[in-house]
Each structure stands twice: as C-alpha cells, then as structure tokens.
Structure 1
C-alpha cells in the first residue's frame, strides 16, 4: 500500500468494500493485471479500495500490497455511499471508474465506457437493460423480477431516461465525479441515483452503455436493496427542504415587505404614486370580484363601471386566480388590504419558485440559487411593475410550468405530466394571459437555442414533449374555453388594445439604470427612456450586461449557458419593437418584432415588456457563474469573479417603492349621503368621468361598498364599429368636454346645443346625481355644470352635487321614484 500522492494520474479505479475478504483479492488481481498489460492504453493509473469499516480480514488482503493500490478506511460501517464518497475524494484521476468488489462487469468492459466519454459524454454508466447488453449468469427468476421492479420504481421516480441506475460499473470525468460525490448526502445505495441526478441538473451528458454482466455468488446486492434505495431517496427528499431553503424563503418575504414598506403597514391610507391610477383600478378589481362571489354572480361581467354598458371582466386583468381566493380577505378587511397582502406574498412566492427551479435544475449551491432567483424576481423591470401590475410580478406558476415542461422532455410520465401541465396552464390563464404569452415566447426561444446546441437531446425530447403538450392542451382548453369565449365574444369584448407605435424599448434602456435602483437610480434618464414609471421594462445596467457577456465567454462549453444567453439577447432585441432607432441618430431599422406585431394576441402586447424575459435568464446565468466560482480552487479567480458579480448586482438593488398619503374619501360617499340622490337603476356621475388619467372615483365606489354604479371608468373596453380596445368607456360629447375643462381650466361657450347634448348624455348614463369633489379647476367645472343644468350645485358632505331629479322627472330621464335600498335590490 503506497502513501498518498498528489500528482494527477490518467485513471483512478475506486472499489468500495465491506467484508469482502474472499472476493476483493481476485478482483484487485484482475484489475491490476489488466491495467498493467494495457499501460499504453490507459496511461498512469491507480486503484483505491474504500473500506467501509469491515470486521473481517478485508484490510489484510494480500492484493492491497500492490504499489498502485491504495487503501482508505472508515472508522465504522456507514454504507456504500459513504465508502464511494471517501474513495472518490481520494482519487487523482482525470477519469474515475467505480466498480463493485464482485466485478460483476469484467474490467475489460472499461473500453466501452471510455469510448462513450471520448464521444463527448461526462459519464458513462454500464447498463444491463439497454440493447447490446449481455448477461452470462442470470439471477434466480424471482430475484431478477423483484430487482427489475425496484429498478423501474427508481428510474420512474428519480432519474428519468436512465434504465439501469444500480449497475456498479461507471466511468466519470474525474473533476466532475469528485464534485458530484462531494455534493452527495446519502450513505446508502441511493448514492448512485443522487450522483446521476447531480449530473442531470448540471447539464452534464450521461451515456448508458451496454455491458457484459454476470451474477456473482455471494453478491450483497439483492432485491431488498432496491427498497433501501427508495428509502434513501425518500430521506433525501425529506432533507431537500433544508434550513437554508427556509431561510431563503423568509429573506424573500422580508425583501418583498421592504419593497412595499411604504404601503404594506397601512394600505388603507397609503398610495403608490408611481402606480398612476392603477392602484385604484386593481383595488376595484379585487372589490368587484369579491362582491360577485359573495352574491353568487358571474365574475366575468359587471355594470358597476362603464354603466350602462358594463365591463367584460374576463377581457380585463382581474386575476381571477387570486382575486377569487382572496375574496374572503377582501370582504373582511377591504380591497386595499387584500391587494397589498396579495402583491407582497405573491412577489415573495415568485422569488421562492424561481429559487426552487434553479436549485432543482441549474445549480446546487443555495447561495448561488438565491442570487439568481433574486435577480429573476426583483430585477428593475419587475420592481417597476410592482407599483401597479400584480399580474406581471406574481409569476410563481411560471417556474412550475417550466419544470413540468422539462419533465415532459425526459419522456417518463408523459400522460401524468401532460395533465398536470394542462392544469397549471389553465390556472395561469386566470392569473395573467399576457405574462403567460411572454413566458411561452421565452421558453420557445430557449428551446430553439438548446436544441441547436444539443441536437442529441432534442432528438430524444421532441416526441414526448409534443405528446405532453397536446395532452396539456386537451386538459387546459375545456377549462378555459367558456371564459375565453366570453373574453373574445361576450358583452363589451374588443378585438385588440392599441398602445401606439412607440412602446418598444430604446437600446439605451437595456444598459441604463432604473429610477428605483437604490445605488444608481436616475429618475430623469429612466423616465426619458420609458413611457411611465410602471413600464421601465429593461434597465438592467451596463455592468450586468458586461457580466453576462463574460459568463458566456468563460462558460461557453456549457449548452445551458449558451441557450440562456441566446434567450436573453433575443428577448432584448424583440423588446426594441418593430422599428429600432439607433441612439443619438435618426437612423431607424426594422426590428424582428415586426414579424409578430400584427399577429393575434401579440398585437395587444406592449413589446417593451418582452425584455422582462431577460430577468430569469440572466438570473440563471449569474447562478451558474457563482456556483462555478464557489467550486474553484484558484483564489484569484474566486476573488475577482465574486467582485465582478457584486459590482454588477449592487447597482440593481431596489429602493422601497415611493408612497404617499392617500386622499381622504369625502363623507358624501362614506356616510351614505349618496343614497338620497341615486335611485334604483340610476348611476352616480363624478365630474369629470373617471378614466385612465383620473380614477379616484373607483376608490370612492369601493369605500361605499360598491353601492352605486359609475359611467366611464378605468378598464379595457370596445370603441366604434370595429370594437377596437381602448382604456375606459366609449367617450361621449359631454364627458369629453368636462374632461377638457378639468385639464385646461377653459369653459367653452355653452348654449342650447350643449345643453341638449348633455341631457341626452345624462339620460344615456341614467344619471341621478352629478358630483364634483375639490380638485384642480373645480370652479370651472362647477361653472360648466351650472350652464349645462341651469342651476348651481349644492355643497354637502364634502362635495358639490347637482340633483338631476326635478319634480319627479329630471334631466336624466329617471322615474323620480326614490329607493334608498336600490343597492340591496340590485344584489
């Protein structure tokens, strides 16, 4: 037995042993003789026997005296996994062969495995189950059937695509074997599966090679050992949720609370000014959904806004997948509290879901996965949308859908995974269709890139993936068919929403910093490069872009890195829109988005939002880089690598979202005074009518428990004969005029024509009362209403009112019959 040496050898052979006094000697003699006779073929070699606390004469075996055989020992018996971990850690080979002490697969089969590694694989496992394998001496039939059953359970529950995980004859690239075994936790037979899972998650290709195998008398591997493997795997899964995972989840929750700290502790009285009018809109969505649920009405339509035409709720982003489950909280605590809790928990859950996916599929280092998931969930565009768009920040289903699609690619449980994918997709439809469409676009870009660099994987994956997607569609479509039918053909449906021709990102926005970046935020630059504070859809900063390029160059050999980089770059280019203007010039080039801009569904997408796809792609690239840096032994590389990651991510740390004291709701709405003016079938008309620019009336309505209906509003609805989607109700002459007075302070000349038009519009809205709250130019609005109605307004309970009922018949054409309980009758 030689002392421990440090120089690298070409091949290490690791033999785990426990009470192998009789079989170890012949095995070592066969292995050393073969390698000595083929020195020119295998180069420098070593054999390491990892004794697992044997109690017989294993450690005194004469063959251990060979100068190239090394014995490493454990103080007690712990299991095959512990022995293998010990032996592989002691190895020095560029390649590492693991073989059992019974040498059931002859050492000459090493040539087959070595050929597979020479063809580009990182591991080659001997298999008794693939075509070409030969079994010379079979086990007893019952024993063999039990073994096959156990192996089937293992490969279907743990390692998809590998038929024979437990054959003890495997060849690995040395460094990757040492990394995988060092990361393992199981001491029993399940280590074989655990190591193969590590290779699968790391995107290291594994070949299953047919070998000649014979059952050896006295073999310690029996049918019950497969049960032990399953037990080991169950323990591994039980330990999969580590304290670090719980800590990360708590950190994500604290990060979300910190981001929303200006509102989360007093949501009823705080407002996010950068949400513009969207906070009012989303609180109204939660309130009307809870009201519909409480009174057993359809959650797909309401006439509380846009009266008398109403609002197609399915054609608006009401997030029924959350607003319905949150209905009890909305009814008990109010929509402001429900929305605040939903967005805070939803953002934390999204970060946790990305973390789970990265740990499962990308890296094992928890710290690396934390950084990657933080970037995916708290990147600048996500923080921007966190002001106002819960459908774009509550994305916890997207990582789950990605994982299920990857399961389909393995081709093991296609039917089950297809069904689950269909259910997930159906639920995501009720969380947000536009983010689902963008996620699907990102997954398509990634799949195309990965297939291009790993054609062997694509050839194996496309059939089960296609089959699973068809099954998923068959499950999903019946669940969403009626809601989608209502969305696209029901009352107040529309064709598409036109956002204008200038909603693509500027190339400069990809390398600039967002307004809410804590250390590098530049509000002036960010606002000049984006439509508004809620649509800062890029702003990843030039240091992160440079870091991503460096990761791509340094880890070019990894197919996953190439595919992620392509996904990020393609999404960034698509987000520039159908026309790309070169910064600081008047030069304009057609962009690839032009190919999608007029296609169904895509025509309603704000193309700048496609850059949000970059967040998880960049997050995973950062996670891979940090994971690789943590494993390196070069101190300089580690230092400068971590410094680069820190310098790239630090400028993107978000500052808490801005918040302001919320305007108090006038007592007219909160104390029920409005009930004296609004009769059954009538509406309350705020002046000007609520729209996307001023939607505080929605807050008044929710404060009044949705007791009255509103004309106008902030929602998506149809306009004109072509039913083009617009923000708000179809405008009328009077609503346009009053809006202009509010914004300009100029009252037009109002004569009989305007008065007649106002009477028709009031009648269309079935107006019972006109209400003006204190606001800019409210004196001009009162003047205009005085001229339209022929009388001055009355100040009462904090507002000016114009009662349109005159002796039983007012300007609205109402019935004149007062009904203080109209709300209850409507319900």
Structure 2
C-alpha cells in the first residue's frame, strides 16, 4: 500500500463527472472507504457542466470530508477538459484518475501502485485488453467488437505497444502528470492518447497492468467514441504543425530554389556547368525508367544504351525510388523537369528530415534544430554532389532510418519498428546503395562510441536492437533479393568499380572552402578534389575550430562524445589508404586500407566518407544553439550565436552556374534518323558516347528514346573478371574515334582497320553513323570515310554514313 511521508499529499484522486447525480455518492464513498487513513490523500471531483444535481452531491460529500474538493467547469467541454482541470488542481505525489462509474474497482489501485514501485515507471495504466485482465460484466457483443476494432486502430496510428489506451483507470507520477496535462490540448476522449504520447516523447516509462472491469449501465462511453478519439487526434496532429515547422520548411525550399535558380530559369537549355556529363546521364536514367514503366518493360535492364549488350540498371543508380513514381511527370513534361524537381525538392526534404530528427533527438528548440538541419543538408560536400549525384544529396530517408534504429534501442515495439526499418531500408536501396552503406558505417561508429560512453544504456539496448534488426533484415531481404540478384549476377553485372589509391581527401580538404562556398575559391578547391562533383569535405577551418570548441565545452554529454568520435573517425577514414602530410613528402598508411578491398567497400570513393561529418556537425550546432537559447545572460547568447554565424557564413553555398547546352541536331530532333535505322539496329554517334562525352544520351532522352546507341555513360563489366568500369568495354573502332577526338593524329587506315570496323559495326548492328559538328570533325570525317570506303552525306546538320546494308 502507499506510504505517507509527513507533510505531503501522497495521492490525488481525480474523478471527472458529467450528469452523475445517481452514481457519484456511492463512488466517492467507495474511494474514501478504500483509502481510509492509509495515507495523506485528496479526492478532486470535476463537474463538467452537468445539467443535473452532480455538483450538489459532490459538495455534500466535500462538506462531510474536507479531503474532497470540487472543481466546477462553466460548461460541458468534455472529459479531457475535466481531467485537465482536476490534475492541474492536484498536489499529490501520485495522481489517480478514475471514472465516476468505478467500472474498474478502486481496489485495483493497489496493483497499479505496486507496478509503479516495482517497475520504477512514471505511470501504470489499467488494461482491459491485457491477457490477464478479468472482465466481470461484458458489454453487448456488437459494442465489444466495435470497441476492440477502434482500440486496435488507435494503437496502430497513435500509441503502438499499449493494448488499452482508453481505460479510465490510470496512476501517474504527480509532477509528470501535471506537466503532461498542462501540455495537453484535447478536451474530449482523445486526451488519454495525448497524455500517453507525451510520456513517450519524454521517455517516461509506462507499465500496463491487468485490472478487473465490469460494464456499467448508463456508461457515457460508446463504440462511436473511438472514432471521436481518432478525429481528435487528427485535429491535434494538424495543430501540432507549428509555425517553426512551416517557416523552416519554406526556408529550406526557398534555399533549394535559389541554389538551382539558373537551372529553373531555362529548363529547356540550361545545363549545370559543374555537372560534366552527369546531367545527361541522369536525365537519361529518368527517361528510360519512365519509358519502361509506360510500356511495362523490365525496369532493371535496358538496351537503349550500350547496344546490344545493354545496361544493368540495378547495377547503376537510376534512383528507382523516385524515377518510378515520377514517371508520369517525366512522360508529360520531360526528364529535365524531373531532374530539377528531384534536386530541388530532394535537398529541401533532406534538410527537413534532419531538422525533424534533431528536434526529436538532440534539442527541444526547433529553431536550433532547424539550423542543424540546414547544415546537414546544405554542407559543402553535399552541395558538391548537388550538380551531378542526386543520390548523394537527396538523403531524406537517412534521418528516418536513424530514428527508427534508435526506437529499436528503446525496445518499445521491436517487431513493428523492425519491420518499418526494413521497409525504410528497402526504399533507400532504391534511392542509393552507397549512401546507405556510408550511413550504416556512420551509425556503427556512433553506436560503438555511445556504447563506450553509456555502457548501461548499451547493455539494455543490445537485445531489442538485435531482435529488431533481425526483423528488418528479414523484411528487406524478401523485398530486394531478386533486384540484388539481378544487380550482382544478372546480365551486365560487375564485381567492383576500382578508383585507385588516390581517391581519398587531402587533410587540407577538411579545412579549406569549397568552390561553391561564399568564401571559396575554385582554383584552390580544384587542386584538392578529384573533380568539382567530388569536393567531399571542405567544411572550412572556422567550423572545424568551432566544432572542436563545442566538443571540449560539452564533453561530459555522452551524445557529444559519440558525435565527436563519429566525426573524427569519418574524417580520418576519408583520407584514404595513403595519408599524405601536406607540405612534406611524408606518406602514412590510412585506416581505410582495412576496408578498401572488402566486399561493397571496394567500390566506394573513400573521400565520400567525409559526408558523414555533415550531420555530425549539424547535430553539434543544433545542440549548441539550443543551449544558447536558454543562456541566462544576453551577452552569452549574443557571443555564442555570433560565433556560430562566423563559422557558418563562409560555407554558405552560392547558386549553381549553368551554361547553354548544345542544340540537338535536326537529324535527331526532326526524326530524320528513322529512314536509316531499322528495328534491331543502332544509331552510332561518332565518336561513341562515353563518360567524357555523353551528349548522345541527351539526344535519346529528349526525343523519346526511339533509337539505341552503342557505348554510353554507365557502370558495366570489363574483361573476363567482370571488373566494373565507367562506360562500355572498348573496341578497336571506338578507341580510334576517341584517340582522334583527343587530338592524336589519324593513323594509316588500311585493310586491317577496315576489317575491324566492319566487325565492330556488325557487333553494334549499326544502321547509320552520325558525325555532328565538333572540333575534330574533319579528322573524324576522314577516318570514317576511309573505314567504310565512301564519303558521307550531309543530312539535317550532320554527316551520316548509311551502313545498314554495308554490313
């Protein structure tokens, strides 16, 4: 039983009452009789605007026992409003709420109190749905069925893991109950769920206790009230979208639009200058996916490029998770609009997702979380990829995956969270596998470091996490087994893409500014990166210095320790297999060497590992800004936010530059090619498209993919070992064209070259050779003329050689 510390109200009992004239007096007497003098208690009756003599009955009881108090609402506003009035008027160390009909007998209080004490929980709620509950008097069969269905629906959408949210018999820690009810907004039946959601957000444990329960005639609760609960919760959810959420979402979208304003300014002709050939490639990915969807063709393979061998789309990154649902947009408005939408909306959605995670897990200050979300999504390495690799800047699923993994550690609903994590992971695989691998690496580093900082938490999380990951893996494997089989063992599959030993970052790249940062310099950044789409660090020395200062200042927090270890480890790993000490000839072995030749990791550009630092820095900034907002003195706040501003200002991204893309030759745009390319044949651009020049892919994607081309820009196999390379396996004739384009002299083309050309044209099933105007056009024209033995014909702005019948 509850003990009574001197001078303190040990228990407050809150009874909401509406038109309970007949039942209230026996209920109050039963409660008084059970509590007796066992502890210091108070009993608060809240009249919810009754139309009968409920207030009179309550006041008569209060006149007999001064421990009974009466609170009167001016009008009938609902059970939630009554409970809020009563709980906020209470003083008890614990607060019991119970219905006026005592459908759950007051004696069940002892079981709830015992559960709270033994389980060290913040609340114990009575449950009629618990397997050990005792239903002494049932409702009608129809009401029970409808009530059970309604309760299951509430559990599914609002409070997973709790069997009975609506039982009116609940015992709370008093202070926590008053905090929860002060925050509550619902006036009706949904307040039970709202309070439980508040406890869950705060991480306060709740135990569910089986109770005796008997249906009471004249009950105010009907089966339809479960529907009212759902309606109230939906309205609450809508009101919960705070102004900060809307403002930050709009700011993120505006930021993305400003980044891509030059692209949006003329979608028909604008080409992102730093994209190299990637914009052509991605537009082609979107176009071929939409075409496959429209014609119900295999979305994982195509021969439109690299004819006749084809392209393993699952072995590339067509972002099927977006290109498939956006297929109607692509078909209606063209792939360039899809490209612009994916980049613009994807980056803003990513910022919002990081903001949501930081607001949920790092700081309660939403503006601080918003600042951290902006840094995580618009950090320099992400901006670098924003011109060419949407799979590395459209990352909105990663925060959701992280949050679901953290929920598994909490162990509330392991099966449900595990299944959802499996679904999230599956979707991310169809957005970008390398990103998922890097995110998993970052999560593993964070989990290891946090476990070392909080061994007790780690021990408690091991079992639910392992179980949930099992569910996630099971769900994910079932859904992706066939696509992964096609990726790794299907047509045009490959084993790995090797990038050499120098794909890591220079240590200077971690502290310099990128070419697209406000304080950046393109010439300096270009020297430290593989290319402008791979400026994978460039956080700037002010931000790095501020991060170090924050880690030192907040070191006692386990979260900060884990973030510091994760960021530092990712930065070091990103330096690659060989770490070259700047301004010296010293070369040290890098820890990436341990992963470089492991499955999956062998295809990773190790410099990209530094992208993990972006959300780490975002979380640190969010935490610091949240603490500064609560600082006692204005001087501290001003100095702190000034330091953050000075650290972030240099890396504010500037708008992406664009240039006018080349016009599509009339021979292609007007469909003149159709006279020369029969079914089963290909159109052969001279030179063949490759990663260095893929304008022919734009010809295809902009004109409906009516013809196939050999060569192309994709990942595919090369040689007997099926090593992954960029582009098609080279052939004699394609190499000759590439050599001439690069400025090498025209060789002496005789019978051997002509025989090889005939073999290559037969392999490509060539219908027509097409030479568009370009710097080396005269030399290329001469080479083709010698190879096929006749002059070309000028048609639609290009030189062509009809070779369909020559083969």
TM-score by length of 1: 0.77
Distance 1:294 1:230, change over 3 A: closer
Deviation string, structure 1 residues 516-556 (Cα, Å, up to 9, x no partner)? 22x32222222222111111222222333333334434444
Query: What secondary structure is seen at the aligned counterpart in 2 of 1:527?
Result: helix
Matching of residues 69-468 of structure 1 within 5 Å: 124-125=122-123, 185=185, 197=197, 201=201, 235=232, 238-241=235-238, 242-244=241-243, 245-468=245-468
User: How many residues matched?
Assistant: 769
Distance 1:105 1:508, change over 3 A: farther
CA distance in 2, matches of 1:557, 1:116: 29
Query: What secondary structure is seen at the aligned counterpart in 2 of 1:655?
Result: coil
Q: Which residue of 2 aligns with 1:669?
A: 668
Structure 2: 5+ residue stretches without partners: 1-6, 18-23, 50-54, 100-105, 128-132, 214-218
CA distance in 2, matches of 1:586, 1:285: 43
Deviation string, structure 1 residues 166-199 (Cα, Å, up to 9, x no partner)? 9876558x9x999877765456797787577556
Please, which moves more after superposition, 497-506 or 718-727?
Answer: 497-506
Q: Which residue of 1 aligns with 2:519?
A: 520
Matching of residues 742-761 of structure 1 within 5 Å: 742-761=741-760
CA distance in 2, matches of 1:506, 1:666: 43
Matching of residues 698-717 of structure 1 within 5 Å: 698-717=697-716
Matched, 1:735 2:747: no
Deviation (angstroms), 1:580? 2.4
Q: Which residue of 1 aligns with 2:798?
A: 799
Deviation (angstroms), 1:598? 1.2
Distance 1:23 1:587, change over 3 A: farther
Q: 8 Å contact 2:188–2:229 — kept in the other structure?
A: yes
Q: Which residue of 1 aligns with 2:546?
A: 547
CA distance in 2, matches of 1:317, 1:485: 16
Please, which moves more after superposition, 156-165 or 376-385?
Answer: 156-165
Deviation (angstroms), 1:497? 0.6
CA distance in 1, matches of 2:637, 2:550: 14
Q: Which residue of 1 aligns with 2:620?
A: 621
Q: 8 Å contact 2:681–2:767 — kept in the other structure?
A: yes
Matched, 1:693 2:688: no
Deviation (angstroms), 1:382? 1.8
Q: 8 Å contact 1:201–1:362 — kept in the other structure?
A: no
Q: 8 Å contact 1:96–1:177 — kept in the other structure?
A: no
CA distance in 2, matches of 1:233, 1:629: 38
CA distance in 1, matches of 2:84, 2:546: 35
Deviation (angstroms), 1:697? 1.2
Q: 8 Å contact 2:281–2:694 — kept in the other structure?
A: yes
TM-score by length of 2: 0.79
Q: 8 Å contact 2:685–2:771 — kept in the other structure?
A: yes
Distance 1:449 1:794, change over 3 A: same
Deviation string, structure 1 residues 11-65 (Cα, Å, up to 9, x no partner)? 99999898999999x99xx999999xxxxxxxxxxx9x9999997899x999999
Deviation string, structure 1 residues 726-767 (Cα, Å, up to 9, x no partner)? 001111222222212211253234344333333332333233
Q: Which residue of 1 aligns with 2:765?
A: 766
Distance 1:236 1:647, change over 3 A: farther
Deviation (angstroms), 1:156? 7.7
Distance 1:190 1:289, change over 3 A: closer
Q: Which residue of 1 aligns with 2:648?
A: 649
Deviation (angstroms), 1:309? 1.7
Q: 8 Å contact 2:14–2:87 — kept in the other structure?
A: no
Query: What secondary structure is seen at the aligned counterpart in 2 of 1:729?
Result: coil
Deviation string, structure 1 residues 276-307 (Cα, Å, up to 9, x no partner)? 10010111112222222233321222222212
Distance 1:421 1:106, change over 3 A: closer
Deviation string, structure 1 residues 334-358 (Cα, Å, up to 9, x no partner)? 2222222233233333333333334
CA distance in 2, matches of 1:380, 1:598: 28
CA distance in 2, matches of 1:74, 1:503: 71
Q: Which residue of 2 aligns with 1:218?
A: none
Distance 1:31 1:720, change over 3 A: farther
CA distance in 2, matches of 1:608, 1:10: 62
CA distance in 2, matches of 1:729, 1:190: 61
CA distance in 1, matches of 2:431, 2:289: 14
Q: 8 Å contact 2:94–2:172 — kept in the other structure?
A: yes
CA distance in 2, matches of 1:223, 1:319: 53
Deviation string, structure 1 residues 459-499 (Cα, Å, up to 9, x no partner)? 34333332232223222223222221111111211111111
Distance 1:61 1:11, change over 3 A: closer
Please, which moves more after superposition, 430-439 or 348-357?
Answer: 348-357
Distance 1:748 1:622, change over 3 A: same
Structure 1: 5+ residue stretches without partners: 1-8, 36-46, 118-122, 130-134, 216-221, 815-827
Q: Which residue of 2 aligns with 1:782?
A: 781
Q: Which residue of 1 aligns with 2:3?
A: none
Deviation (angstroms), 1:665? 0.8
CA distance in 1, matches of 2:284, 2:734: 21
Q: Which residue of 2 aligns with 1:723?
A: 722
Distance 1:169 1:326, change over 3 A: closer
Please, which moves more after superposition, 158-167 or 358-367?
Answer: 158-167
Deviation string, structure 1 residues 710-736 (Cα, Å, up to 9, x no partner)? 121111111111110000111122222
Q: Which residue of 2 aligns with 1:599?
A: 598
Query: What secondary structure is seen at the aligned counterpart in 2 of 1:685?
Result: strand
Deviation string, structure 1 residues 402-451 (Cα, Å, up to 9, x no partner)? 33333433434433333333333222222221112222222222333333
Q: Which residue of 2 aligns with 1:568?
A: 567
Q: 8 Å contact 1:273–1:659 — kept in the other structure?
A: yes
Matching of residues 44-55 of structure 1 within 5 Å: none
CA distance in 2, matches of 1:388, 1:85: 55
